[in-house]
Structure 1
Amino acid sequence: MTGIDGEKAVLQEFLGYQRATAMAIVDGLGEVALHTTVLPSGWTPIGLIEHLADAERHWFQAVLTGTLSPRPWDDGCPSFVTPRSSAEVLAFYREQCSLSDRLIAETPLDAAPVGKHEDERLAAQTTDLRRIILHMIEETARHAGHLDAARELIDGRTGLGPR
């Protein structure tokens, strides 16, 4: 594949790698470990996965399309320290990634977002679908690194994921 379709495929591939890495890092952790804070900032591994789900939802729905599907919960809890079970959060993340992939497939790379991020700097940087995908690759990779450090502190495991 060449051209725009090839570029879109590559961007989706790299986003998929980062998503798979985040999921692989938390795979095998029990409920207690997933809800345990190991760094001074206070987030939990499953809370960070919920944050990634919310980021997918925000960038590909609210920003790209200007619409937003409701969350399965609306309890005001910050996602970084979610009280929800890992099964709920992992299902929500998978659902948001699937919806994001559908929206990516339906939208040209150079399509301008319908919505807008509230931060002016980020809004200025994310002027089309291409840049939104790049932002999500960056966001997911950054948090996969956080998860990797947390996993090492929890049980000593490192280097988990497809890459």
Structure 2
Amino acid sequence: MFLRAQRESVLAILDGLGAEVLTTPVLPSGWTPLGMVEHLGHAERHWFQEVVTGTADPLPWPDEPGPPATPRRPEAVFAFYREQCRRSDEIFAATPLSAPPRGRHPGPLADEIADLHGVVLHVLEETARHAGHLDVVRELIDGRTGLGPR
């Protein structure tokens, strides 16, 4: 699945980086690589749980607004991201692509997302976009490129 490959890219791009690098902004926007992973975990939870099923597991911490940054340790954030992806995969496996959402996204995409198929495409787009951001950041950190699984 293409979404799974993008998720693996996010993790591969950041593999081997220490806590200090993961929590230091590289770009002027102020987001950190670890904050981006947490953001992607929240996106998985929101779209697959809140939007597709209409309910969601409780968050282990509040979803703070602003540029993605986090005060949490890398192990906790990576575990959160992996767990949200696992839950998303469970929902995806148990739900027909044509199933309409039981919940609603509060933003302008709400009217464009008519079924699980649309949710999957949106999360794929969001994950790929941020994997690209992380690619650039990793290159700026240590010059490494092409770290995704493909």
The TM-score bracket by the shorter chain reads over 0.9
Q: Give the letter for the 1:67 counterpart.
A: T
* TM-score (norm: length of structure 1): 0.89
**Distance of 1:23 and 1:115 partners within structure 2:** 29
What is the aligned partner in structure 2 of residue 141 from structure 1?
128
Q: Of 145, 152, 161, which aligns to 2:139?
A: 152
Instruction: Give a deviation string over 1:111-157, Cα, whole Å, max 9, x none.
Output: 0000011113x112211000100001100000000000110111111
Structure 2, unaligned runs of 5 or more: none
Q: Calculate the aligned-residue CA RMSD, in Å.
A: 1.3
CA gap of 1:76–1:52, structure 2 versus 1, over 3 A, is: closer
The CA deviation string for residues 30-68 of structure 1, in whole angstroms up to 9 with x for no partner, is 000000101011000000000000000000000001101
After TM superposition, the runs of 4+ consecutive aligned structure 1 residues lying more than 2 A away are: 74-79
1:126–1:90: structure 2 CA closer, same or farther, 3 Å change rule? same
Residue 132 (1) aligns with residue 143 (2): no
Q: In 1, are the aligned partners of 2:29 and 2:67 still within 8 Å (CA)?
A: no
Query: How many equivalent pairs are there?
Result: 150
Structure 1 residues not aligned, in runs of 5+: 1-12
- 1:84 and 1:147 map into 2 onto residues whose CA distance is 19
Equivalences for 1:17-96 in 2 at 5 Å? 17-74=5-62, 76=64, 78=66, 80-96=68-84
Query: Is the 1:51–1:79 contact (alpha carbons within 8 Å) kept by the matching residues of 2?
Result: no
Q: Deviations over 1:85-133 (max 9, x none)?
A: 000000000000000000000100000000011113x112211000100
Partner Cα distance (2:14, 2:103) in 1: 32
Q: Distance in 1 between matches of 2:12 and 2:50?
A: 27
SS in structure 2 opposite 1:80?
Answer: coil
Q: Which amino acid aligns with 1:146?
A: H
Distance 1:75 1:147 in 2: 20
